[in-house]
Amino acid sequence: MADLSTLFRATFDPQTRKQAEAALEQYSLQPGFALHLLTITLDGGQDRAVRLAAGIYLKNIARKRWIQDPEDDTAPIAEEDKVRLRQHLIPAMISLSQPTDKALRAQIAESVSLVAAVDFPSEWPNLFDELVSSLSPTALHQTLAVLETAHSICGPWRSAIRSDTLYSMINIVLERFATPFLEVFRVFSTEILDGKVESDLDIRGQISLRLLQLYYDLVAQDLPPQFEDSLASFFTPTTGWFPKYLQWDRKELYGEPDDTTPSLLSSVKTTVLEIVEFFTLRYGELFTDSSVISNFIQTVWVIVSGGAYSSVGDDGLVAQSMRLLSTTIKSGQYKSIYDDNNALEELVRGIVVPNVQLRDHEVEQFEDDPLEFIRLDLALPSSAVASSGGGDATTRRQAAAEVIRSLVSNGYEVQATEIVSKWVNLGLQEYAKDPGDNWKSKSSAIYLISAVAARSVTTQKGVTSVNPLVNIVQFFSEHIAQDLQSVGTAAHAILEVDAIRFLYTFRNQLTKEQLLSVLPVLVQHLTSSSYVVYTYSAIAIERILFMKHLHTVRPLMEPIDVASIAQPAIEMLLTKMEAGKTPEKIAENEYLMKCVMRIIITARDKLAAGHAATLGRIVAILGAVSKNPSNPNFNQYTFESVSALIRFVVPAVPASLSAFEQSLLPALTYIIQEDIDQFVPYAFQIVSQLLELNHGQIPDFYQNFLAGVLQPAPWQQKGSVPGLVRLIRAYLDKDTGHLLQTKRIETVFGIIQLRLIPSKLNDGWAFELLNGTVSNVPLPSMQQYLRDLVMSLLNRLRTSRTDKFVVGLVHWICYTASLETGSYTPDTIPDVINGIQTQLWGSILKDVMLPVMAKIPPQNKRVVIVGLTRILFRGQATVSLQNSQPWPMAFDALLQLFGSQVHDPAKDDDPDAGITSIDYEEQTAGYQVAYSKLAASEVARPDPVEYAGDPKEYLMAELARAVTRTGSGVWRGLIERCQHPAAGAFLQEYAAAGHPI
């Protein structure tokens, strides 16, 4: 592994990145690899970039491969390597304790955290002993490194779900760490707060910050006795550590006035207020003396209203201060402070109003960094406490608005509305005097009225509950509509944004007719020269089109509603994106492409007339972005837009399919051949979608794709597997004859047996292809392959059985039994199993299939019920088990399936419900090159058991036919041997339906 450093260096070059990453992946499977990574990270003779890359790689394999992922096939790190890593990680972290090593130390600390989450305390019992022994009042950098590592281990506890395992771990940590921690806190806090030290203030301030963060970590799940006993030393007004830290002031630790990063001093105070807010929420009953929290309220009042923290870097501190005020208002325990009308007046005047006013920094950001302005402005606040200890009210404006909403929602609705309304009117009057100079006054007024009018807000739906004392519609017509109509002529572009945001926020309070009346105006704003204005307009249009009828998934807007604006809006949006001069600039604004996607999904076949030009422009954008894909959301929305055009235009204009193929297949071929890994999974899905729409003779060019997907290379990328499976399934559905004639079906079976069945990650896709083969390949052609396929399935059962795999097996066996075509019977698979080993079918049914019946997902239960019914009443291999337990047990399981939710495809109100609900911003998982399903390309397959009708009636009919064939005695005896009470009830129901037995 001597060339590891060279490989890491090669990953920095786009020309050699893929080859280097592939080589590293191969090396990573070898023993000792992780230790080599640690060695490189610590090697001061290496380039710092290489060291950092090695540290990141070490962190990632600790995350992915420290233990065997039951849903992944990658081998875990060898046990010997784990032992050695546990021995070296803490010393490595301490050796990187110098300030210049901060980035490297962060990677090692994160690795420690990941390993500890799995191995502490069972495999790493001395972890905290190592940390405690490394704490030192004089080795400041070493102490900081230890505290950072402890925080990386304990920090996740803040958001962890309570469990016995978690609490056992916390108790072990507290047993070894609580007392030393409190002592270190006392020593360092005394020195720095009492002014006993003048040197190393920066490093000591960092230690104080980590101590405060660790305090939060250690009390996040429950209040340990050591901490409860010491509450007074931390919280007592004036003399407690927390009040002292809030009063602590050292000019040496101030940040630069123009610095947007919080200063160390600001971060310390913010963390203290996060702790106080948390205690107010979780442990408020411990403060029997209300003056404790009241003192903090008075302190933050001074912080916010005093004007000393006016820099952008202090935004987090000021926002957290207001967040604490909101929390104390909601708690209801401090009414003595807020019941005073003068106090409310002062709260609004001194805290809320100054912080909803736009600052010069925000106006500059509006022009110079518009995307950041939008992202901050859209981050709606909530009352949840995040794992970091703070909330998501990231701006001063949002935190101030949350204070108002807290008053409105907690008993001060009348007073808050009256006080805020005065300030709103004052702002509007100031604006009226001189709109050109006083436009900020109107902006503040709009923000204030939005805050006082909204009781509750969600990102997805906007305002869901309003203050009845505020007439939203009247304010809109009198003060918002004018700016909304003023495309490019408002006193300032921010007022146009304010108007669009108001509409976006209160969209649920408007009728469909009102929304339809403003959609054309929003489309006009797409022509604005202001980046924020046209982006906000795209966001508002998209959210309006996303709206649903109340309590349904049916879209509020029909295709006819947007027919007149859809094409012009798409053209304007594409023009804005095409203006980007680089792939990164084209793809930076995902909101524009998301709006294009939503318009296509809403307008559907109304875009048929102009679809060719739209498709050509989107394909050109894809071609440009493919040179350097940089925005995963943009990529997703772009491919969804293409897929949605296909989905809705081709059924309306069948002749358009060939044009889609001519436009798309060359581009998709290029993506696959060039292995543009972010795009390849999408490409396979689009090709599948096009193939699935073909009827009759399949064009020859699809055979080129088939030859490619049957090669080993495409299956190496995990994210491509679902798309590849779907493409092969499409070939099975559309051109089975070709697969059989060319013997390529054997390659398909090889993929199933060698790549999919053994894989815990991809075994579900094996059953998708198995379903496709039995649906399309008649039994006479399939018979020669079935034994080997079933043997592969049984071997997987023997070597690494999982519930997921067994559920898939149950569904496939029942699916095959339910087929009325292809010469398959309910005995087909049981006979193959018995052919491998006599009477093995009875054991598989009893010991493998029946235990997972309760885990069959609702969408599969209908097929399982019908298939199992046929197996029990038509299958000779199963009926022959009448003198043993499997048949009665299987019938019990069948009846219990009726007692749970069964998906009925005939009752789906909207076959496009899935596509209309695409909303990727609601997902919080990090991006990786993996499978990203195109919802627009998904189509519901025909119900394979539609012939059965109602499953319960089908069961009764099958029993009746069985009785007619063989008499009632056998069947009555079998059913009476069933243990479940449902069996007797079924016989009564059966008799009541006119079928005596």
For residue 272, give every residue at least 6 positions away whose Cβ sits within 8 Å of its Cβ, in sequence order, or none: 212, 242, 245, 246
pLDDT of residue 71: 59
Q: pLDDT, tens digit, for every residue of 686-712? A: 999 999 999 988 998 998 889 999 999
Q: pLDDT, tens digit, for every residue of 644-653? A: 999 999 999 9
Identify which of 207, 204, 192, 291 has the alpha carbon closest to the alpha carbon of residue 249.
Answer: 192
Identify which of 896, 899, 889 has the alpha carbon closest to the alpha carbon of residue 848.
Answer: 889
| Mean local confidence (pLDDT), 290-311 | 88
Query: Is there a contact between 44 and 31 (Cβ–Cβ < 8 Å)?
Result: no
Find the helix packing angle between 201-219 and 264-282, rounded to 10°. 20
For residue 50, give every residue at least 6 positions away whose Cβ sits within 8 Å of its Cβ, in sequence order, or none: 5, 8, 9, 40
Give yes or no for residue 177 having a pLDDT over 50. Answer: yes
Q: pLDDT, tens digit, for every residue of 313-357? A: 999 999 999 999 999 999 888 888 888 889 999 999 999 999 999
Identify which of 342, 304, 348 has the alpha carbon closest to the alpha carbon of residue 323.
Answer: 304
Q: pLDDT, tens digit, for every residue of 302-323? A: 989 888 888 999 999 999 999 9
| Mean local confidence (pLDDT), 50-61 | 95
Q: pLDDT, tens digit, for every residue of 927-954? A: 334 568 999 998 888 999 999 999 999 9
**DSSP letters spanning 905-918:** GGG-S-TTHHHHT-
For residue 734, give every residue at least 6 positions away whose Cβ sits within 8 Å of its Cβ, in sequence order, or none: 691, 692, 694, 698
760 versus 541: the higher-pLDDT residue is 541
Token duo for residue 454: 């909204």
Q: C-alpha distances in angstroms, 247 versus 39, 147, 237, 266, 399?
A: 44, 24, 11, 11, 22
Cα separation, 394 vs 431, whole angstroms:
27
Token duo for residue 119: 């191995």
For residue 473, give every residue at least 6 positions away whose Cβ sits within 8 Å of its Cβ, in sequence order, or none: 509, 510
Q: pLDDT, tens digit, for every residue of 426-465? A: 999 999 999 999 999 999 999 999 999 988 777 777 788 8
Query: Is there a contact between 39 and 4 (Cβ–Cβ < 8 Å)?
Result: no
- In which region does residue 950 sit, left (phi positive, over 0), alpha (psi from -120 to 50) or beta (all else)? beta
Token duo for residue 995: 């079928």
pLDDT of residue 926: 31
pLDDT of residue 558: 97
Strand, coil or helix: 823? coil
Give yes or no for residue 982 having a pLDDT over 90. Answer: no
Q: pLDDT, tens digit, for every residue of 500-557? A: 999 999 999 999 999 999 999 999 999 999 999 999 999 999 999 999 998 888 999 9
DSSP state of 199: S
| Mean local confidence (pLDDT), 575-602 | 96
pLDDT of residue 387: 34
| Mean local confidence (pLDDT), 661-666 | 95
pLDDT of residue 913: 56
Query: Is there a contact between 565 and 573 (Cβ–Cβ < 8 Å)?
Result: no
DSSP state of 900: S
Provide the residue type at 864 as one letter: V
Q: 10 Å Cβ neighbour count for 619?
A: 17
Token duo for residue 367: 């022009």
Token duo for residue 57: 């790689």
Strand partners, 813: none
Q: pLDDT, tens digit, for every residue of 811-849? A: 999 999 999 999 999 999 999 999 999 999 999 999 999
- Reported as a pLDDT band with limits 50, 70 and 90, residue 973 is confident
Burial, 74: exposed, middle or buried (Cβ in 10 Å; 0-12, 13-18, 19+)?
Answer: middle
pTM of this prediction?
0.89
Give yes or no for residue 601 having a pLDDT over 70. Answer: yes
- Average pLDDT in the chain: 91
Q: Which residue has the tokens 């209309």?
A: 916
Q: pLDDT, tens digit, for every residue of 855-902? A: 999 999 999 999 999 999 999 898 887 567 899 999 999 999 997 666
Instruction: Give, for 462, the enclosing helix (H) or strand (E).
Output: strand 462-466
Give yes or no for residue 388 having a pLDDT over 50. Answer: no
Give yes or no for residue 793 having a pLDDT over 60. Answer: yes
- Reported as a pLDDT band with limits 50, 70 and 90, residue 919 is low
Count CA atoms within 13 Å of residue 38 on its CB side: 23
Phi first, then psi, for residue 465 (nearest 5°) are -145, 135
Give yes or no for residue 13 having a pLDDT over 50. Answer: yes
- Reported as a pLDDT band with limits 50, 70 and 90, residue 393 is very low
Identify which of 394, 411, 261 has the alpha carbon closest to the alpha carbon of residue 323.
Answer: 394
Give yes or no for residue 918 having a pLDDT over 90. Answer: no
DSSP state of 455: E
**Percentage of the chain modeled with pLDDT above 90:** 76
Dihedral of CA 188/192/197/200: which sign? Answer: positive
**Percentage of the chain modeled with pLDDT above 70:** 94
Question: Worst-scoring range by mean pLDDT, 77-86, 513-522, 575-584, 966-975?
Answer: 966-975
Cα separation, 466 vs 399, whole angstroms:
18
Q: C-alpha distances in angstroms, 264 versus 205, 210, 250, 312, 314?
A: 7, 11, 10, 14, 10
Instruction: Give, for 469, the enclosing helix (H) or strand (E).
Output: none
Kindly report each contact of residues 793-799 with a partner whose C-beta sits within 8 Å and lies 24 or more positions away, as own/partner: 793/757, 794/833, 794/836, 796/757, 796/758, 796/763, 797/848
Integer-rounded Cα Rg, in Å, for the chain is: 33
Cα separation, 939 vs 644, whole angstroms:
11
Cα separation, 816 vs 96, whole angstroms:
61
Give yes or no for residue 592 having a pLDDT over 90. Answer: yes
Cα separation, 425 vs 431, whole angstroms:
10
pLDDT of residue 479: 94
Q: Which residue has the tokens 């019946």?
A: 853
- Reported as a pLDDT band with limits 50, 70 and 90, residue 1 is low
**DSSP letters spanning 116-132:** HHHHTTTT-TTHHHHHH
